[in-house]
Structure 1
Amino acid sequence: MNALLRQAWLAVRPLTAQQRFLARCGTLLLASGVLHVAVAIVDWSPWWGPVTWRKPVVFALSFGILAWSAVWVLRQLPASRFGWVPAGLLGGGAVAEIAMITTQRWRGEPSHFNPEPGLDSAIWSAMAQVVILVAVALAILLGWALLRFEGTPAARVAVIVGLAGIQVAGYIGFDMAATGEAVVDATGRVPESVRFGAEGSAKLAHALGLHGLQTLGVLAVVFGLRPLPGRTQVWLMVVASAGYAGVFASVALTAYAGRPWTSPTAAMALLGLAGAAAVAAVYAFAARRLLPVLGRRPAGVVR
């Protein structure tokens, strides 16, 4: 078990100054998320709504994981000073975004769609600009991976599909912002939750797009712990990628149809279930290959 953990760490640990910068930003954000979990427990205020500890927690953890995922991506791209562009935009942008969200929660003000003049509207405007910088960083990583990827073919599939999913999530996020602004213009109030149509789950669709890189990246790392033939790894990753895309498409299209994710059409339900089954099957296969290693006794241990 310890040997596997060490191998996994060696596969993702930062090696260059750019990667270490991203890793530090990611670690800072993860620590902030965990800290605010404790604050939320102590405060015991509502978890949902425009002013809630959920936002500093969820956004910090999400951006922290994304930063560490970008470390793994950069490890498989050519060493270049150019890497400071996506690393700086992503790491710095993520920290700035979470700092503003967290500041607003401590002030007792909504962080998103806040129309109040002065500091509140300035922070909301700045958040929108910073997110664009993060999106540019991720688009650069996607283009770079398409042109100069140096990792395994299976990891290349995981990175390209994962980063493409983030681009789609960015489009969904843009629509969420437009929808929230429309609610504010119509009612003069910050919405409790952004929905597409009557009950479309915009947040879930957005989240699924953001975290496909981790879903597929974990598989790529696991494949490296007990390597399979390269062609087999690629086919397994293609199956998992198609499954992820099916789940994401099902949830996103259901959201845009204005339906809750628990009530999709028959076609969307079939697509989502088939996709989830494909991802689960590949994960089960990967886990099964690790079981002999996990169950192996360290040398010299006698029972």
Structure 2
Amino acid sequence: MMLLLLARHVWAAVRPVTAQQRLLWWCGALLVASGTVHAVVAVVDGGPWLGAVTWRKPVVFGLSFGILLWSAGWVLRLLPERRWGWLPAGLLAGTSVVEVALITLQRWRGVPSHFNADTAFDAAVWSVMGMSIVLAVLAVLVLLIWVLVRAGGGAATRLAAAAGLVAVLASGAVGQRMAATGEAVYAATGAVPDGVVFGAAGSAKLAHAAGLHGLQVLGLLAVVLGTTRLRERQRLGLVAVAVAGYAAVFAALTVTAYAGRAWTAPTPAMAVLGVAGLAALLVVGAVTAWQVRRPARAPAEPARTEAGPVATGMMG
């Protein structure tokens, strides 16, 4: 019963209420459905999970981009409705669908989707994928600036949204380095690499994923905290600790990867930083879970104003 009530609270906070938000929501749902279907295909078809041509790519990219679009829809809930909001919403939704569609197409063709320039068509696909990511990053940057200038809701929610968007942009920087590394390997060997590694054993994918999903982790925390009876200052403190913890984990993973070391073999300094960040996140998670056990506030829709939604229990 408590989980059902919590789910109702979360849905009230993230439910799309404008056309721009619905665009992001339904495009996200399409991509999540695609990833789920291809997960079933992967199980039925069998074969390796890792490699340059596997079902992993349409599954992982479909789910990741789909959830990212849902998260972006939540961000728009914090912002005043403006016609030009179609620019970041449309760019992010359109480029995400194009990116996943091309990756999925290449897998069904049985050829690598990334770094592949074996034919003119493959080179064109890889080029369009690169341009799509650049435009997606631009859309996220616009959302970040908008959040910093005009976001409504409580301070905890605004901090979670801004920090999450910064994490997505940082993930994009890691992704750019991954693309350059993969292209260098292809140019040197003439073969598409099975995976991108920084240096000898740096886990580029892990660092990239950690940044990409920061918006979901911090956003969900802010939404759940909005269902508790904690005061705004207390919620802000918890989110601030979570942001610091997540930043520490991401920094430790990224620095370790760029140093060419496996994530399981960081330097002592990065190990301490990563463990401290993870501990902070676990403490915040435990406090939040404890607070959720207390009687929650009744679900409420955030009121919209010219400056965006006003602070409510739901919006943190």
* TM-score tier (shorter): over 0.9
Output one character per residue of 1:238-263: Cα deviation in whole Å (capped at 9) or x when no partner: 10000000000000000000000000
Quote the residue 1:44 is aligned against. Answer: 46
Question: Which residue of the other structure, out of 19, 22, 28, is the alignment partner of 2:21?
Answer: 19
RMSD: 0.9
Query: Does the alignment pair 1:277 with 2:279?
Result: yes
Q: Write the mapping of 1:206-221 to structure 2, written as runs, cut at 5 A.
A: 206-221=208-223
Larger CA deviation: 108-117 vs 285-294: 285-294
Q: Write the mapping of 1:30-69 to structure 2, written as runs, cut at 5 A.
A: 30-69=32-71
Quote the residue 1:300 is aligned against. Answer: none
Q: Write the mapping of 1:1-303 to structure 2, written as runs, cut at 5 A.
A: 1=2, 2-293=4-295
SS in 1 for 2:226: helix
The amino acid of 2:29's aligned partner reads T
Quote the residue 1:298 is aligned against. Answer: none
Q: Which runs of 5+ in 1 are unaligned?
A: 295-303
Q: Distance in 1 between matches of 2:114 and 2:128?
A: 11
SS in 2 for 1:225: coil
- Structure 1 position 117, deviation (Å): 2.1
The amino acid of 1:291's aligned partner reads R
Q: Distance in 2 between matches of 1:91 and 1:157?
A: 23
- Structure 1 position 292, deviation (Å): 3.9
- Structure 1 position 64, deviation (Å): 0.4
TM-score under structure 2 length normalisation: 0.92
SS in 1 for 2:293: helix
- Structure 1 position 3, deviation (Å): 2.2
Structure number with higher relative contact order (C-alpha < 8 Å, ≥ 6 residues apart): 2
- Structure 1 position 293, deviation (Å): 4.7
Q: Distance in 2 between matches of 1:117 and 1:191?
A: 17
Q: Distance in 2 between matches of 1:60 and 1:99?
A: 9
Q: Which runs of 5+ in 2 are unaligned?
A: 297-316
Output one character per residue of 1:223-280: Cα deviation in whole Å (capped at 9) or x when no partner: 1111311111111111000000000000000000000000000000000000000011
The amino acid of 1:93's aligned partner reads T
Q: Distance in 2 between matches of 1:48 and 1:200?
A: 16
SS in 2 for 1:59: helix
Aligned sequence identity (%): 57
Q: Distance in 2 between matches of 1:293 and 1:265?
A: 44
Q: Distance in 1 between matches of 2:74 and 2:204?
A: 28
TM-score under structure 1 length normalisation: 0.96
Output one character per residue of 1:59-98: Cα deviation in whole Å (capped at 9) or x when no partner: 0000000000001000001111111011100011101110
Give yes or no for contact 2:229–2:291 (8 Å, CA) kept in 1.
Answer: no
Kindly indicate which of the two structures has a greater share of residues assigned to helix: 1
Q: Distance in 2 between matches of 1:191 and 1:5?
A: 42
Q: Distance in 2 between matches of 1:59 and 1:5?
A: 25
Quote the residue 1:301 is aligned against. Answer: none
